[in-house]
Every structure is written in structure tokens, then in C-alpha cells.
Amino acid sequence: MVKRDEVLPVFQDPNRTIDERVRDLISRLSLEEKISQMLFFSSALSRVGIPEYNWWNECLHGVARAGVATVFPQAIGMAASFNQDLLYEVASAIADEARAKHHEYARKEERGIYKGLTFWTPNINIFRDPRWGRGQETYGEDPHLTGRLGVAFIRGLQGDHPNYLKVAACAKHFAVHSGPESLRHEFDAVVNPKDLRETYLPAFREAVIEGKVEAVMGAYNRVNGEPASASPTLLQKILREEWGFSGHVVSDCDSIEDIHKYHKYTSSPEESAAAAVNNGCDLNCGRIFASLLKAVEQGLITEETIDRSVARLFETRFKLGMFDPPELVPYANIPYEVNDSPEHRKLALQMACESMVLLKNEDNLLPLNKGKIKSIAVIGPNADSKEILLGNYFGVPSQYVTPLAGIRAAVGPEVKVNYAEGCDLVTDGPSFWGEAPTSGFAEAIAAVERADVAIVCLGLSPQLEGEEGAVANSDGGGDRIKLTLPGMQEELLKVVSMVGKPVILALFNGSPVAINWAAENVPAIIEAWYPGEEGGRALADVIFGDYNPGGRLPVTFVKSLDQLPAFTDYTMKGRTYRYMEEEPLYPFGYGLSYTTFAYTDLALAKPAFKIGDDQEVRISVQVENIGPVAGDEVVQLYLRHVGASVETPNWELQGFKRVALAPGEKQAVEFILQPRQLAVVDERGAFRLEAGEIRLSMGGQQPDAKSRSLTGAKVLETNLVLSGPALFLEENE
């Protein structure tokens, strides 16, 4: 530590506590200067030597919008890995690149947008409806999976230094936010207490309590009548009082303006700004907080309340070491060369491989034997697309490996690769010049006729699903209005299949696609998501057996919109695997492998206990690779309450672990269930342990009939019996 210098202002003295430094700094500022720090483009405070700072930065799956950076698979793809440890490693690499970029830019006095250390990531909303265009940004539909992956990503971003954050993570969008995009500025998400506590809040709770996330972003919409970015229920009662959150809250961009402009909750910018800050929102992505000076004059808010928010914001900046000598901040010395490094590209490849989900493999068509193939046809609008590698909120790769490029590199010059686009993504009628949308079919058929096998690359693209205003070819404001393959893609797949050659379908998308015809008629299907800069290489590794796929679906693939409630209905009844009553096309947690795994010796340490006497439940199983090749298995633990006094999910994931096993290798996997995981959630949203039977299931999939029929495998099951009077675990009842 530096020696204390009495001449040094307290806020500049690293030997002082952060609280002392923050209070000293705020005491030196005028009201106008304080308010200037509550806008995301915070002004320079020249008279105290503080430069301008822009709070807005993104790193959903790599440092975004800031030039060249390693681009990892989109979040939904990373979720399909079911690998917390790998997600942590990816987030840590992203944070290294973020630090390196920030300091390089700051040394050159570049301090604008997307150059700071406060990242508005991760998106831990629940992907409750496949129509939502931003579902690709999430970790899927399950609260437990989302919570565990969210905590891993936050910890990777923020680092483990006792004094400094590597970067500041932000859990968004708090809360009950998942479309429709076209209504987000005016929509009121009405949710009952049970669904709120059982589904929409758990991942945020884990991010705050366990992940120690530094920031939380409010949502655009209202929740039960209250604007999310000015909600006393969400921001005060739950976030700060119940969960003890001490970081800062940022509004989603322009959502404070929405409070009076669209929600009509207030009648002026001054009232909206005051409502937000009074209820716990500290930072405005937008300009409405500039009205706080008038709000003070009008008696709508006090300067003391503004001081509270400014203190939270400066605390984050102190934690990031922004006002300390660089030699004291270890992350300030990360070299610029880590950005887009070979090591990070290798990590992107690993994550892309682990994200791939094998949905179908009839007659073991995959993996292909390169030594027996003389020619391959690579077909489809996504076969040579760079866009489908990226998803949304992306950086710029220095190298793009498209599916076509990855396949060509994998087989080398000795195998002929015929490429034909076949059709574009969306056109389903004649062009302005009268050209039929099927005009590329002939070329595609010719390519397949001259090949031993066809690899057809179809799906969606970031131009078809995403955020409101960011999607050019969407009638849903970024959301999807149908779940089938758009344009003439399914027709292309059908004509290619009619040639009679083996067909492999590779899907690239950020949300479920209703590929009902393909599921019945195409022998092999791979879900590749938006797989990042190394996506084409990862796909080729899977197709040719250099990597054995082990990914699992983090979201249910439904058969049609007819299986879904209305998009605007936020109740969970009929939604996701937890409450869906109809048979899906592909279930949550599903994925195949090139090898086979066997489960034995399911053991529950204590099959019965009295409520209140025990603090945790231990359950273990032996997993063995009994197949011919090495592979990863995702061990999944589900529970179901039998005869509970309230409605409970069909099943709920409460544990998962990805394990790598060589042929013949066996490994014990243990999960520890805490009391909260065993509780039911009543209609008031209270968690309670109650007497009764809990069915525990362990295997590589859900314990549902569809998973059994698709895999031919069963899960192991046992019962846990609780006795004694009910015990409430939460304070909110």
C-alpha cells in the first residue's frame, strides 16, 4: 500500500475505506455535479480530477461493440453446455479482454461508450415463450439452470480479488420481463405471487446473494402496475430489504422516460426521475435524470436521496480501482495482447463444441467417416453466413469460421465439397423481377446428386429475432410470429431429401424452431445455435467425430404455437417443461451422444427426515460410459412433489453436472439439496417445507415420457419422505 499522505484528499487515498472515500468525494460536489454522475454518460469532474465515464458496456458472449474481440457462442448456446465451470472460464476470459481494452483506450483518452468496465450482462430473464426475440440472450427456461449459470458468469466477470472487481457485472432485466418486444414500453406484466417467487425471481436472488453481482438493471415494462425501474416492490422491498443488495441499479435505456410517456404512471420527466430514484434506481441509461435538479426544486426528491444513489455509483467505481494508482490494481496490468488471443479462440471452440446438441441420429449416421467420403454437398442459407455465428450484442471476430469453411478445412482437398445456397432465409414469393423463391433449388439438387452426403444448414439469424428496433426482417418487433422455418427452407430440405442421399440438418438459431417434418424424415439433426467465431469448426468436429456432442436443450422445443398460451400471459400454467401439459417436439434437458451411459447405485443418504432436524439432503449415483468412444454426459437431478397441498411443477431441475468419461470409465456424482430446494411455493409466494413424499430422479435427461421415447433410456428414481409440521423458509409470506 502507498504511505498515507496528509495532503492527499481522502477520496484519493487507497489506505482509506471505500465508505470514507465515497463520503469525502460526495462532500466536494455540488448538486448539479452529483446529478451529472447519475446519467450513463457521466460528466468529467475536472476540479477534483475525475475524467468523464460512460457506464454502458456489453459482454453477453464476448466484449461487444468495441472492435475486435473473441466471440463466444450466444448465451443460449452456452447454456446448452450445462457446464458451470466452463461458463466461469469463458466469463473470466471476457473480463480479461474487457480490462485490456479499457486500459488501452484510457491511455489514449478514449472514454466513450463501450469502453468502460461496467458491463450490462448477464441477461437472466426466464425464456418462458419461444417467440421472444431476446430469448437467445438468456440461459433458457429453467430457474435453477439460469441461476447456476448466471452465478458462474458473474463470478467469472467480477473476479475473486479481495479489494477490486475485474469488471462490474449487471443482472438484467429485473424482473418479469420476456416480451412482447413490441409492447415493452407500455406493457404491464401481471404475475401472481407464486409464479413471481417460484419462476421469475430465483435466478436474480442467486445472482445477488450468492453471485454478489454489482449491479441490477430494471426492465422496461410494469410489473403488477409498477414500472420496473421505479418499483417499490421490486427495488426496495425485495432487492434491497429482503436480499440485502448493496450495489447500484441502472434503468434499461429510456425506460425512465417510459414511466410518463407510455405507462402514464407519472405526468412529467421530473416526477418520473424522482419516482425512480426514490424507489432505488441510481443510474439512468437515458437523459431523464437530468430533470432531477428541477425535481429537487419542486420538492419531489431530496438531495440526501440523490447522495445515496451517487454514493452507490462511486462505490462501484472505487471497487473497479478507477481512482487508485494502476500498480495497486492487478487487473490494470492485463496486457492488450490477451484480446483475441489464440488461447481465447481455443476456448471459444471448446464452448462451441460443448454447446452443440445432437437431436437425432438415426441408424448412427453420425459421425461421418472422412476416409469413406469422396464428396459432400453443403447446402442452405446459413451454410456460409457470418451473421449466424454472432447472435446479438456481439464483437467482431478477427476470423470467421462458417459451417462451409469448417467442413472444407476438416475434410481437406481430397474430398470434394459442393456448395449451394438453395434459397435465402425468408423469401417465400416471387421477387420484383418475377424470380421464383425456389430458383436456387436446381443448383442445390445438382450439388447433392454429385455428393455422398448432404449437410443442410438452415434456421434463423439475428436479422429475424432480437431486440425491438434491432431486427430488420421481423413483423413482431424483434419477436417471432411463427415457429416454423421461415421462407422456403423446409421446401428446400424436402427436395434435397428426395434425392436419396443421407441428409444431416444443422440448425442455427437463438430460439426453438418447430422442425416437425425434419424430426420425422431427416436422419440426423444437430442444434448449433449461434455458435461464435469458431462455430463452423465446432460443427465439423461434431459431424466427423472429432468431438462427441454432449449438449442438452436449455429450452423446450414445442410442436406449434397451438401448444402455447398467449404471449402476453405471464402465468406459468402450460409453459416450459415445468408446467407444460402437452407433448413437446424435443424436451428440455434432451440431447444424444455417440456413446452410451449407464446409471447405477442411486443412493439417498437419508430417505426420510423430520422437517427442521436436517439442513441438507445428499444423493449420489454412479455413471459409466459403456459405449465405444469417450464422451460427456450431463447428469441431471429432478424432483417432483407427490400429493403436495399446492400446485407444483411436473418436474423441476435441482442439480446438474457435466462429466467427461472414457470408454469403460465410471464416476460417482453427488448432489446436495438445500431445504429451499425441497420446499413448495404456495399461492402467496412463500417457500415452505411440508410433510409428504418427494420423487427424486437421476439420469441424463428429464424423467418424462418423450425423453424416454427419444433416447430409449430411463432415469433412476427414489423417494424422500418428509415428516413433521410445515416450516416456512422465506420472510415474504
Instruction: List residues with catalytic annotation.
Output: 252, 465
φ and ψ of 104, to 5 deg: -65, -45
Cis (ω within 30 of 0) for the bond into 523?
Answer: no
Q: Is 712 exposed, middle or buried (0-12, 13-18, 19+ CB in 10 A)?
A: exposed
First to last CA, the chain: 48
Q: Is 136 exposed, middle or buried (0-12, 13-18, 19+ CB in 10 A)?
A: buried
| DSSP E strand boundaries for 397-462 | 416-420, 453-459
Give the list of residues 6+ apart from residue 359 with CB closer than 8 angstroms, or none: 519, 525, 526, 527, 586, 590, 591, 592
Closest CA to 549 of 347, 344, 360, 346: 360
Where helices occur in 245-341 by DSSP H, the ranges are 255-261, 269-278, 292-297, 303-319
Q: Report residue 653 CA to chain centroid gap.
A: 17
Closest CA to 66 of 335, 331, 336, 394: 394
Would you put residue 722 in left (φ > 0), alpha (ψ -120 to 50) or beta? beta
Give the position of cell 438493471: 217
Contact 206, 147 (CB under 8 A): yes
Cα 486 to Cα 626: distance, rounded to the nearest angstrom: 40
Q: Report residue 605 CA to chain centroid gap.
A: 34
3-state secondary structure 452-485: CEEEEEEECCCCCCCCCCCCCCCCEECECCCCCC
Give the position of cell 430411463: 714
**Which grid coordinates belong to 21?**
472515500
Cα 24 to Cα 19: distance, rounded to the nearest angstrom: 9
Contact 702, 587 (CB under 8 A): yes
How many CA atoms does the CB half-sphere of 540 hold within 13 Å? 22
Closest CA to 380 of 420, 322, 325: 420
Cα 141 to Cα 363: distance, rounded to the nearest angstrom: 31
Give the list of residues 6+ apart from residue 648 with CB closer than 8 angstroms, or none: 640, 641, 680, 681
**Which grid coordinates belong to 501?**
442421399
Contact 170, 208 (CB under 8 A): no
How many CA atoms does the CB half-sphere of 262 hold within 13 Å? 16
Closest CA to 638 of 657, 622, 652, 625: 652
3-state secondary structure 17-32: CHHHHHHHHHHCCCHH
Contact 661, 667 (CB under 8 A): yes
- Quick count: other Cβ atoms within 10 Å of Cβ 371? 7
